[in-house]
Amino acid sequence: MDEENFGYSLPVKEESKTGLLKIFQDDISSNKKYAFVTLLEVGIIHYLREKYAGGFPEPWDGVYFSATVLAEFYLVGSLLQSLYFWRDTSKAVSELEKKIDS
């Protein structure tokens, strides 16, 4: 009864430790790229907000300012998340490398 899974068993490909290491390193690379692109986007949004602030009629200027602030908040949150995933995956890689070496 303990091994009964009610028909939901799917074949799982076994990954070796070196295979997992490669997957984690790919994740780290993706997180680095995403963090860089997001940081670039934050800078562009900030630049555009400063450059075009006051260049629209009054109701639209407030909408523009609010939209750029919200976009910047979203992008900063996304940047922090990718940095957190980068750090977390780096820790997992260092632990896996220690297990492989020993």
Determine contact, residues 97/21, Cβ cutoff 8 Å: yes
pLDDT for residue 101 = 85
Place of tokens 């070196």: 18
pLDDT at 72 over 60: yes
Determine contact, residues 68/48, Cβ cutoff 8 Å: yes
Tens of pLDDT along 7-66? 666 665 667 778 888 999 999 999 999 999 999 999 999 999 999 988 889 889 999 999
pLDDT at 92 over 80: yes
pLDDT at 70 over 80: yes
Query: What CA–CA distance (Å, rounded) separates 32 from 38?
Result: 10
pLDDT at 2 over 90: no
pTM greater than the 0.85 cutoff: no
